[in-house]
Structure 1
Amino acid sequence: MKILFCNDSYPGIFGTMPARLASDPANSVMFLSFHQRREESPSGVIHARLNLARTREHLSPNRDAFVFEWEKMFSLGRQALQTFIHIRDTGFVPDIIFVSFFDGPALFLRHAFPHAFVVSLFRGFRRSSEADDARFEAVMDMQKMTVVQSDLYFVRSEGQKMDFPSSLQSLIHIWPPYVNTEFFSPQPRRLSAFFSDASDDGELVTVHMKVGGDASKAMMRLVFGLLTHRPHCRVALTFGSDAYRDRWRQAYSVLPEEISRRIFPAGGLDNAAYRTLLCSSTIHVFPEYTIPPLQEMLESMSCGTLLMMPSSDADDEFFHDGKTMLVLPKEGGRQMEAISRVLDHREEFDDIRRNAREKIVERCSEQVAVTGQMAFVMEEYRKVRN
């Protein structure tokens, strides 16, 4: 059997599933991702890059916001189609496709692989302001189309399922997020792995930076404020874009050495180093609420790292202020105060860290969930093919 996985990063939401399927000599497994992998793929998994121009400069910024989002998604779908056709023409015609692209790359997937059994996963979209409404509407229209063209369609929670029309809800299944909770588990803090002059027990704030926007500018001010007012504090930055990481490097390269040496741009880490970073972080801040990097958030919680993010949906099963995470205030000054309070009184938040770890082990343990999920997909595949 030939199996194709498609996701922004490897392995992302799919966890150990590609490796498990590749361990069967009867299977041929390919993983197509937008971001470069951090380490070698497991034996038997062929890795390929999906080159997409996700910048919007070539689009029409003055168009209606809804139309603008659809232009972007259509562009990504057209670009991805060329890669799908190339894979098909080289002889890799998948029997099953697992795909988790929310913003358009899978739009024309059926044009290249009309007979494949398509399993789609929607990781979700959160609105933090009215400015997100047009994008939400466009993304949800895209997902309605995806439901129709998929053999199996999954969301991660009942709350997300309710965003779809009632006529489609019977076609939608729940795929809870997975975390390798045995690997992503609390470990001794090792700041010296990233800052040679740091005490392993020192202050480390990790911040996830997404591409551009006012929120990113505000985070830049917050990061520089922390480094200026807390001379023993260090900051690690994780990124959703390599190009954005390079722009950040340029931005802080002109700062005084006393400040710039306390910034670590976390990119290209293998899984062991990535886990060390999460376990060494006093706080992991996720400043943007729209399309949050869920896997990184849950892996942080599994490592016992305190998560801080904007206010979450009322029905979210993972994020509860004061119980499994802390809400990040909207105002820059209050953000600094909230982070500083945690840094000054770390031990007061140990219960939240423990609760978060217990929640992830209970609800997201990959060791338990993947086997059942794979069995369900394969049974549905056999029903269609028989």
Structure 2
Amino acid sequence: MQILFVHQNAPAQFRHIAARLARDPGNRVVYITHEGKPVPQGVARVQYKPHREPHKQTHHYLRTAESAVIYGQGVARAAQKLKKSGFTPDLIMGHPGWGETLFLKDIWPTARLISYCEFYYNATGSNIHFDPEYPDGEEIVFRTRMRNAHHLLSVEAADALYAPTAWQKRQFPTAYRDRIDVIHDGIDCERARPDPTATFTVKDGPTFRVGDEVITYVARNLEPYRGFHSFMRALPHLLAKRPNAHVVIVGADGVSYGRALPEGDSYKKRMLDELLLPKGRVHFTGHLPYLDYIRLLQVSAAHVYLTYPFVLSWSCLEAMAAGCVIVGSRTSPVEEVIEDGENGLLVDFFKPIEIAERVADVLANKVDVDSLRRAARETVLERFELEASLRKLDDLIARTMA
């Protein structure tokens, strides 16, 4: 079988399934992605880049739509070259979020297209108008409707659809939900697992071991969408209450989601300017190599995961698989995987003092820490384990090809 994957930030959500399919000698697997992005072993890479940005004169409701067309055009040009070289995919798996899959069925009408339904934007009940500190403005409702245009076109073109969680599936219009399978990308629970011998050393700082009062927080970028502001505001109270505790924060200073800041500014800088924190007890690591990141989770005494009602992070599930005690926000994506008092603890996203008190309860063993750790890992093993997810994708592919 000839298989094409499409995602501008390869390998992304297709890391494991692309590698799995490439291991079959009967398959030829190709990945279209942005320049310089890595692909799994055995997968051929075809690079592209958008030829321009949306015009500044474009109506601001339509800039996302224009960007999607530009991305789709870039992928289409790469796909046309592939077609001329003799490559005709039987199966295409792609992420439509940037418009990259828009024109693929026009190039290969007989190919089966499986579309990854990561997120559909809604003006109510989701990330928009969630955080009053960062208001979205009245016209966000109109921009959001237009922002979904290329998602609807991509869904309509696809032969099969899947979303990583049930809540993410429910964000899509009711007319399409019955077509969407719920299949998570999968968590490698052999790599993300408890290790009582683990240690983690902060660069130019202390070394932590299992049993130390280490509070962890992880995000791709330190930004409001992942509750960075609420977490940071919890720290003065928490660190005063627990004088031996240290905090290790993983993430870069950019913005993945939400409002970008002026050059030279960052949400980290704003929080450090706002708060008075004890010296030498709050450690920022930036991005970490994966194995170092896992070691940090393994020594964590309490892991804080906060998010807007938005895409659930891999880091939340990896922390659970590593046996962390999760203190998570009482928001819909988190509530799908964490039941308060059973496999983690839930707090109000907007209440830093409550966050601090619950973390302090964990550090003081005022909750059944061992039970929460075991239940957290068991949840991931039962619902998100990598091999089980890959078998579900195998089945989806088989049904789609049939």
Q: Which amino acid in 2 is paired with 1:350?
A: D
Q: Which amino acid in 2 is paired with 1:263?
A: F
- The answer to whether 1:89 aligns with 2:81 is yes
Q: Deviations over 1:298-327 (max 9, x none)?
A: 222111122333223399642322223322
Q: 2-side partners of 1:253 and 1:296: how far apart? A: 24
Q: Deviations over 1:31-56 (max 9, x none)?
A: 4556976xx75420235667579x99
Q: Does the 8 Å CA contact 2:7/2:33 hold for their aligned counterparts?
A: yes
Q: 2-side partners of 1:57 and 1:278: how far apart? A: 44
Q: 2-side partners of 1:320 and 1:220: how far apart? A: 20
Other-structure match for 1:153: 161
2:233 to 218, 222, 235: 222
Other-structure match for 2:209: 200
Q: 2-side partners of 1:321 and 1:59: how far apart? A: 49
Other-structure match for 2:13: 13
Report the secondary structure of 2:368's partner residue: helix
CA distance 1:323–1:112, shift in 2 (3 Å):
farther
Alignment of 1:344-363 (within 5 A): 344-345=364-365, 348-363=368-383
Other-structure match for 2:113: 118
Q: Does the 8 Å CA contact 2:168/2:311 hold for their aligned counterparts?
A: no
TM-score (norm 1): 0.75
Report the secondary structure of 1:148's partner residue: helix
Alignment of 1:225-374 (within 5 A): 225=236, 229=240, 230=243, 232-239=245-252, 251=269, 258-259=279-280, 262-267=283-288, 269-270=289-290, 272-313=291-332, 317-329=336-348, 330-345=350-365, 348-374=368-394
CA distance 1:182–1:228, shift in 2 (3 Å):
closer
TM-fit CA distance, 1:143: 3.6
Q: CA RMSD in A?
A: 4.3
Q: Does the 8 Å CA contact 1:127/1:136 hold for their aligned counterparts?
A: no
TM-fit CA distance, 1:257: 11
Q: 2-side partners of 1:249 and 1:130: how far apart? A: 19
Q: 1-side partners of 2:168 and 2:267: how far apart? A: 37
Q: Deviations over 1:86-126 (max 9, x none)?
A: 35425455432212343544444445555432101213467
Q: Does the 8 Å CA contact 1:253/1:260 hold for their aligned counterparts?
A: no
Report the secondary structure of 2:332's partner residue: coil
CA distance 1:292–1:223, shift in 2 (3 Å):
farther
Q: 2-side partners of 1:284 and 1:278: how far apart? A: 8
1:44 to 31, 42, 45: 42
CA distance 1:364–1:212, shift in 2 (3 Å):
closer
Q: Which amino acid in 1 is paired with 2:25?
A: P
Of the structure 1 ranges 291-300 and 159-168, higher mean CA displacement relative to structure 2 is found in 159-168
Which stretches in structure 1 are left out of the alignment for 5+ residues? none
- The answer to whether 1:186 aligns with 2:194 is yes
Q: Does the 8 Å CA contact 2:5/2:30 hold for their aligned counterparts?
A: yes
Q: 2-side partners of 1:57 and 1:188: how far apart? A: 54
Q: Does the 8 Å CA contact 2:309/2:331 hold for their aligned counterparts?
A: no
Q: Which amino acid in 1 is paired with 2:250?
A: L
Of the structure 1 ranges 184-193 and 312-321, higher mean CA displacement relative to structure 2 is found in 312-321
Q: Does the 8 Å CA contact 1:159/1:315 hold for their aligned counterparts?
A: no
TM-fit CA distance, 1:233: 0.5
Q: 1-side partners of 2:161 and 2:219: how far apart? A: 29
Q: Deviations over 1:238-271 (max 9, x none)?
A: 3595899x9669949999994487221124x14x
Other-structure match for 2:64: 72
TM-fit CA distance, 1:159: 5.2
Q: Which amino acid in 2 is paired with 1:127?
A: S
Q: Deviations over 1:66-89 (max 9, x none)?
A: x3xx52254144135314423542
Other-structure match for 1:24: 24
Aligned residues with identical type, % of pairs: 19
Q: Does the 8 Å CA contact 2:202/2:283 hold for their aligned counterparts?
A: no
